[in-house]
Amino acid sequence: MATRHDHEHEDPSVHSFLLAGRKTIHGYHLAMFGMAEHRYQVLLKYNLPTDVINTYLMDAQAHPESFYAVRNTEPMLLPPVGDGTLTEYPARLDRVTQTGNGEDRVFEPIKEGFTARIKEVLNFRRFTQEDFPAHLTYLIYGEGDEAHIAHRLVDRPHFEQIITLRHVPDGLTQDDLARAVEVTIPSVPDNGHGNEPWTTRPLPNSDYEAVLHRNGTAQPITLPLGDERWWNITTLNA
């Protein structure tokens, strides 16, 4: 495990939440292991203004290679989001252009001056010293006929990855999606990658057999992978 030398004081900061979904908009916090205020994995369900959603969807159609993020325009801390005392904040919508293997990215504002309202917090976890899982582990989330997976982060060296599924897997319930339960992929190890950073995407196939973990039970499901929404090995591990 990596040794952390930075102190645990957290300063109010800017936090970007990557968007996924068209009918229900979810946000995924872009984490950083090296900064205490960003050392969180967070999944939200947003209630965004209609004009902001329309801008996001129309711009995404015109720029299919880009990603989109909501970021706060006044510095804030994340723990009040986690405990429910912060439910809205002034924000802007960014188009995110990523190049190469995720090393370079540009956040370009395309809509400003609105309030981002948090409808629900699906997952809120501060990183602690824990062992890497034996197999790739993801959080699965969404609503209705939309589902996404986000790599469950542990410690350096790790990778951020969000994938939208082609459809909701058989056997997955709306409650599973609302709670962002964990799924593992037994065929792919995730044991710290030999203490070397991942440099290639670990899921090149279109479908993977996985195990859904629900209330202490394990249920086999198939993950039908679709569009990758985000890949990051740089700022996360800084």
What confidence score (pLDDT) does residue 108 get? 96
- DSSP state string for the chain: -PPP-S------B--EEEEE-SSS-EEEE---TTSGGG-EEEEEEEE--HHHHHHHHHHHHH-TT-EEEEEESS-B-SHHHHTTS--EEEEEEEEEEEETTTTEEEEEEEEEEEEEEEEEEEEEEE--S-PPPSEEEEEEEEETTEEEEEEPP-SSS--EEEEEESSPPTT--HHHHHHT-EEEEEEEE-S-GGGS---S-S--SSEEEEEEEETTEEEEEEEEEEEEEEEESSGGG-
The share of the chain scoring above pLDDT 90, in percent, equals 84
Q: Return the higher-pLDDT residue of 199 and 52.
A: 52
Q: Return the higher-pLDDT residue of 99 and 66.
A: 66
- Hey, which residues does 105 pair with through a beta bridge? 98
Does residue 7 carry a pLDDT above 60? Answer: no
What pairing do the DSSP bridges indicate for beta strands 26-29 and 160-165? unpaired
Query: Is residue 197 very low, low, confident or very high in pLDDT (cuts 50, 70, 90)?
Result: confident
CA distance 97 to 172: 32
CA distance 205 to 112: 38
Q: 170 burial class (0-12, 13-18, 19+ CB within 10 angstroms)? A: exposed
Query: Is residue 192 very low, low, confident or very high in pLDDT (cuts 50, 70, 90)?
Result: low
Does residue 102 carry a pLDDT above 90? Answer: no
Mean pLDDT of 28-52: 97
Does residue 189 carry a pLDDT above 60? Answer: yes
What confidence score (pLDDT) does residue 6 get? 41
Question: Residue type for 107, please?
Answer: F
Distance of CA 222 to the CA centre of its chain: 20
Query: Is residue 84 very low, low, confident or very high in pLDDT (cuts 50, 70, 90)?
Result: very high
**Torsion over CA: 187, 100, 226, 47 (sign):** positive
Q: Which residues contact 79 (CB under 8 A, 6 or more apart)?
A: 10
What confidence score (pLDDT) does residue 2 get? 33
The answer to whether residues 101 and 157 touch, using CB atoms and an 8 Å cutoff, is no
CB atoms within 10 A of CB 184: 19
Mean pLDDT of 20-42: 97
Among 61-70, 101-110, 159-168, 198-207, whose mean pLDDT is lowest? 101-110
- Summarised one tens digit per residue, pLDDT across range 111-160 is 999 999 999 999 999 999 899 999 999 999 999 999 999 999 999 999 99
Mean pLDDT of 86-112: 90
What confidence score (pLDDT) does residue 8 get? 67
Query: Is residue 104 very low, low, confident or very high in pLDDT (cuts 50, 70, 90)?
Result: confident
Q: Which of 138, 224, 221 is nearest to 181 (CA)?
A: 138
Among 34-48, 99-113, 128-142, 202-216, whose mean pLDDT is lowest? 99-113
